[in-house]
Amino acid sequence: MLDHIKGFVQGVVLAPIVRLFVALKISPDAVTLVGTIGVAVGALAFYPRGELLAGTVFITCFVFSDLIDGAMARAVGRTSKFGAFWDSTLDRFGDGAVFGGLALYFAGPGDSDLYLALTLWCLVTGAVTSYARARAESLGFTANVGIAERADRLVLILVMTGLAGIFSLDMLIYIALWILAVASTITVVQRIWTVRRQALAEEAAS
């Protein structure tokens, strides 16, 4: 579902912006950097003050850079291993800022130790999910399994946080965090189990 939406947004909605940036000779790597900075500023400047809707709108304006930079790189034929590395590395900063901002919200205006801890758990498991796949691939295994990919996590938390800001209903964030906590934990376990099976099969074959 998200792949279809991504294809539509990238190929239709954002196409004019991609063409403009390419014409202006803007580097895809620069777009990635600016987008990450924008996400971090939005999350860390607005969420800790309880401005959930404003923060989500601000973040959304920059989060699309993740689609723009890739389309730009393909348009100018500049896809590279460094570009992929740069994009993945900065994604971790962006994700950390979003959940870090929410953690600060629950440490302040949100006033909940439980959801502060749950937000930090989502931050950690999200990072481990990405690391597990990267580490597996560096060892020659595959770990592209799981029920909570990065896009799923980001869309869910941003949508529910924005709605919580509109309706002044933190319960929506609570629901999203519980879903993410469970789904991310399951995904980490799935990836560990998948790599373990491959490692044992490799050892048996040798």
CATH classification at residue 57? 1.20.120.1760
- C-beta of residue 32 within 8 angstroms of C-beta of residue 87: yes
- Same domain, yes or no, for 129 and 201? yes
- Same domain, yes or no, for 116 and 188? yes
Q: Please identify, among 36, 60, 82, the residue that sits at the C-terminal boundary of a domain.
A: 82
- Same domain, yes or no, for 199 and 116? yes
Q: Is 92 within the bounds of a domain?
A: no
Q: Report the binding-site residues for Mg(2+).
A: 66, 69, 87, 91
- Same domain, yes or no, for 120 and 191? yes
Q: Is 107 within the bounds of a domain?
A: no
Given a cut of 70, the residues of the chain with pLDDT beneath it are 1-13
User: Which tokens sit at 54?
Assistant: 């404003």
Q: Which domain holds residue 12?
A: 1-82
Residue 91 to residues 5, 32, 44, 67, 121: CA-CA distances in angstroms?
Answer: 19, 9, 15, 12, 18
Predicted TM-score of the model (pTM): 0.91
- C-beta of residue 75 within 8 angstroms of C-beta of residue 23: no
Give tens-digit pLDDT for 174-188: 999 999 999 999 999
State the total domains in the chain: 2
Give tens-digit pLDDT for 61-89: 898 888 888 888 888 777 788 988 999 99
User: What pLDDT shows up at residue 119?
Assistant: 98
Q: Coil, strand, or helix at residue 91?
A: helix
Q: Is 29 within the bounds of a domain?
A: yes
User: What pLDDT shows up at residue 1?
Assistant: 47
The CA distance from 102 to 49, in Å, is: 10
- Same domain, yes or no, for 148 and 194? yes
Concatenated DSSP letters of 53-82: HHHHHHHHHHHTHHHHHHHHHHHTT---HH
User: What pLDDT shows up at residue 5?
Assistant: 57
The CA distance from 139 to 113, in Å, is: 38
- Same domain, yes or no, for 200 and 121? yes
- Same domain, yes or no, for 78 and 117? no
Count of all residues that appear for the chain in the document: 206
Q: Is 100 within the bounds of a domain?
A: no
Q: Report the binding-site residues.
A: 29-32, 66, 69-70, 74, 80, 87, 91
Q: Please identify, among 65, 82, 99, the residue that sits at the C-terminal boundary of a domain.
A: 82
User: What pLDDT shows up at residue 11?
Assistant: 58
- Same domain, yes or no, for 68 and 116? no
Say which residues have a Cβ less than 8 Å from residue 41's Cβ, sequence separation at least 6: 58
The CA distance from 120 to 180, in Å, is: 11
Say which residues have a Cβ less than 8 Å from residue 160's Cβ, sequence separation at least 6: 172, 173, 175, 176
- Same domain, yes or no, for 16 and 73? yes
> 181: closest CA among 159, 155, 153?
153
- Same domain, yes or no, for 56 and 124? no
Q: Is 102 within the bounds of a domain?
A: no
The CA distance from 20 to 72, in Å, is: 10
The CA distance from 200 to 141, in Å, is: 11
- Same domain, yes or no, for 36 and 75? yes
Active site residues: 91
